[in-house]
Structure 1
Amino acid sequence: MATITTFEELDIWQLGREISQDVWDKFENSALGKDFELRNQMNRSSGSIMDSIAEGFERNGRKEFIQFLSYSKGSCGELRSQLYRAFDRKHITKEEFEFLKEKTITESKKIGSFMSYLVKSENNGSKFK
């Protein structure tokens, strides 16, 4: 397995970035942009998916990284719940809802799998060398 040297190389970070942009596009192109409270919550939770991965990676410790991946996974669930509200308020279509819901489920599973890998890893991170 190749060594990852930056968080930008991580598939989970890249997918988190995609999700964040997809959500932003909904603000720009639907009534969701006018529901300021929900929009702000969704902007924070979608951004937190990628930001928590980046922050955990940069801490250079396995246990801290796992902790921040847990925050990221939680943000996936938070965003998915907010997507239900956006759909229920008719801000997004059923197709848009399903597309984004599936992306957050995929991201959550990938993060969970990566966490499991790190739990089993013996590499504690560069700050412990």
Structure 2
Amino acid sequence: MAQFEDLDVWRRSSRLCVDIYKGLATCKDYGFRDQITRSCLSIPSNIAEDFERGSDKDSNKFFYYAKGSSGELRTQIYIGIEIGYISKETGISWKNEAEHISKMLSALIKSRSA
């Protein structure tokens, strides 16, 4: 029986979340750090919630929430780079991974809607 932990998109988004938590552990702007970690944590959490619900009524709803959180995260990464909280190299890597996760979610939503 498949579990959400088997989904590559869940594994990748969880790994990105861990990287962001570790990368911003010393950030003294607690508001910024709280907001960006909430959006990154929301991605794998919503993937897991959608997968576990598995009902037609809620079909893909939480995958869409996860996709929205990916856009929110990318925005916060751009801002973090601009204000000097995130190095450009790290930020681009995180942004690219968040973008890839968003594309994976789009494909998952499409496949489950067919």
1:88 aligns with one of 78, 82, 86: 82
Q: Which residues of structure 2 form unaligned runs of 5+?
A: none
Contact 1:23 1:43 in 2 (8 A): yes
Aligned structure 1 segments of 4 or more residues deviating by more than 4 angstroms: none
Q: Which residues of structure 1 form unaligned runs of 5+?
A: 121-129
Deviations 1:46-99 (A, max 9, x none): 000000000111112245241100000000000000001111110111101110
SS of alignment partner, residue 14 of structure 1: helix
**Matching residue of 1:20:** 17
Deviations 1:95-119 (A, max 9, x none): 0111001000000000000100000
Contact 1:53 1:65 in 2 (8 A): no
**Matching residue of 2:43:** 49
Instruction: Map 1:27-66; keep pairs closer than 5 Å.
Output: 27-28=24-25, 33-66=27-60
Deviations 1:31-55 (A, max 9, x none): xx21111100011100000000001
The total of aligned residue pairs comes to 114
State how far apart, in whole Å, the 2-side matches of 1:76 and 1:63 are: 23
Deviations 1:7-43 (A, max 9, x none): 1001111011011011111112x5xx21111100011
TM-score, structure 2 normalization: 0.94
State how far apart, in whole Å, the 1-side matches of 2:57 and 2:4 are: 16
Compute the RMSD of aligned alpha carbons. Answer: 1.2
TM-score, structure 1 normalization: 0.84
**Matching residue of 2:65:** 71
Aligned residue type for 1:27? L
